[in-house]
Amino acid sequence: MKETEVISRRALLVKQHDSIPIYLFALTADELDQIADISRVERNDVGDLIGYQRPEVRRHIKNIVDYLDSDNPILPNAIVLSVNPSVKFTKSRGPNTDDGVTAVGTIEIPMPGTSGKKPAFIVDGQQRIAALQAAKNRSFPVPVTAFVAETVDLQRDQFVRVNSSKPLPSGLVTELLPLISAPIPASLTARQLPSAIVDQLNQSPDSPFKGLIKRPSMSQKEKKASPITDTSLVKALQEALKSPSSCLFPYKNLTTGETDIDGIWALLICYWSAVKAVFPEAWGLPATKSRLMHGVGIQSMARLMDRIMATTDPTSKGASAKVEKELQLISSQCAWTKGTWEALDRQPWNSLQNVPRDINRLSNHLVRAYVSAKSNN
C-alpha cells in the first residue's frame, strides 16, 4: 500500500457508550502493521506494571500463517484495537445513515509521524496480526473493532474482559487485576485483592517472598530465578479471605465491605517470615528441589497458617519468635527437600503435586501433626 498521511475507510459507528465510540471497519495486514502497536506487559525500573499483552506464541502463529497461505482462507474474528482520539469518524450525509443504534460514515486513522508513535494498540488479536504480517498476502483484509481509549487503564480493562473467558494465562490476568478500577465480574473480583497483595509480597523489602514470585511481566532470566507461581499464592489468599474459619477473615468488615489491608499484611509477613526461618534449607529453591516452594507446599502451609495465626497478634512483641516456635512443632514431620512423607504412606518427598487431592492430604497431615504436638506440650 502506498503510504499516505491517513488511512481512510468506510466504517460503522456502534452507539454503545456515551463517551467511548466503537467503530467497525476493515484493514489489510500492511495497514495494521503501520498503525497498531503491542503494549507488552513488563515492569519499569521502579517496579510499576506497564502494558498488558502476553508474549507471542510462535506455534500458534505458525498455524495461522499456514492457514492464511492456503487457498481461499477466511478470518472472520475481528481484531480489537484501542485507538487514541486522533482517529476521526465522519458521519455520512443523506437518508438512512443512522438508525439510532449504528451510524454509517468514514474513519480516518493518521499514520505515525516522525515520533513513530502509532495511533492504535492491539487489545485482542496479536497472534493473528503477527501471522498476517508473516503471511504471503499482505493485502488480506480483516475485520476490526476499535474503541477510543485515552488511557492504558481502559485498554487493560478491556483486555482482561475480552480474554478472561479464553485460555489466557491465568498469571497474566492475575497480574493485571490490581490495576483494573472499573467494575469487573464477581469471578475476577474475588482475585483482585489477593492479586494486589501478591504483587506487594514480590516487591516489598520486608517480604520473605521478595523476588521469588514468578510473574508474566518478568524476563525469562527473572522467571528462572523465581520458584513460586503467583497463582498458587493468589489461590491460597483467595481461599483464606473467603473462609469464615480463616485467620484472615476477621480482617474483613462485612457491614461496610472494607478490608484491613495493613492487618492482613502484618499477619502474612509475620507468618511467612517464620516459615522461612524454620525451613531455611527449603526456602528459595526451585520447586523441583523444594516442595515448600511448590504449589502444594505453599497452599498447604497457608492452611496451617489459619491454625497457628488464629491466636497470634502479629503486631505484638515477640510474635515472630512465637510463630517460629509453633512451626518447630511440625518441622520433623516435613520432607520438603528429601526423604519421605512418613504419614502419607511413605511417599517420596517430591511425589506430591499441585492438585487438590495432594493439597488436601498434605494440609490435613500438617494440621493433624500440629494439633497433636500442641496437645502433647
Is 174 a domain residue? no
Residue 252: pLDDT band (50, 70, 90) is: confident
Structural domain ending residue among the three candidates 106, 133, 163: 163
Is 28 a domain residue? yes
DSSP sequence for 21-79:
-EEEEEEEHHHHHHHEE--B-EE-TTS-EE--BPPP-HHHHHHHHHHHTSSS----SPE
> How far, in Å, CA of 92 to CA of 158, rounded?
29
Q: What is the pLDDT of residues 81-127, one digit of tens each?
A: 888 888 999 999 988 899 999 999 999 999 887 666 788 888 888 88
Q: Tell me, what DSSP letter sits at residue 192?
A: H
Q: In terms of domains, do 71 and 114 share one? A: yes
> How far, in Å, CA of 263 to CA of 219, rounded?
32
Is 285 a domain residue? yes
The predicted model gives 251-280 an average pLDDT of 90
Q: In terms of domains, do 370 and 222 share one? A: yes
> How far, in Å, CA of 306 to CA of 268, rounded?
11
Share of the chain above pLDDT 90, in %: 47
> How far, in Å, CA of 248 to CA of 298, rounded?
16
Q: What is the pLDDT of residues 92-104, one digit of tens each?
A: 998 889 999 999 9
Q: Using the structure block, give the residue that is written with the C-alpha cell 443523506.
A: 94
Q: Tell me, what DSSP letter sits at residue 252?
A: B
Partnered with residue 12 across adjacent β-strands are 24, 104
Is 175 a domain residue? no
Q: In terms of domains, do 251 and 345 share one? A: yes
Look up the pTM and report it.
Answer: 0.57
Residue range of the domain that includes 340: 184-376
Q: In terms of domains, do 128 and 214 share one? A: no
Is 168 a domain residue? no
Q: In terms of domains, do 134 and 188 share one? A: no
Is 172 a domain residue? no
* Cell numbers placing 307: 491454625
Q: In terms of domains, do 152 and 213 share one? A: no
Share of the chain above pLDDT 70, in %: 81
Q: In terms of domains, do 195 and 291 share one? A: yes
The predicted model gives 213-230 an average pLDDT of 83
Structural domain ending residue among the three candidates 96, 131, 163: 163
The answer to whether the beta carbons of residues 251 and 259 sit under 8 Å apart is yes
Q: In terms of domains, do 191 and 323 share one? A: yes
> Residue 341: what pLDDT?
96
Which residue, 288, 136, 292, 128, is CA-closest to 209? 292
Indicate the number of domains in the chain: 2
Is 221 a domain residue? yes
Q: In terms of domains, do 219 and 132 share one? A: no
Q: In terms of domains, do 27 and 128 share one? A: yes
The answer to whether the beta carbons of residues 279 and 336 sit under 8 Å apart is yes
> How far, in Å, CA of 117 to CA of 119, rounded?
7
Structural domain ending residue among the three candidates 104, 128, 163: 163
The answer to whether the beta carbons of residues 90 and 6 sit under 8 Å apart is no
SS3 230: helix
> Residue 61: what pLDDT?
82
Q: In terms of domains, do 199 and 96 share one? A: no
Q: In terms of domains, do 90 and 223 share one? A: no
Average pLDDT over the chain, rounded to whole?
A: 83
Supply φ then ψ for residue 274, to 5 degrees: -70, -40
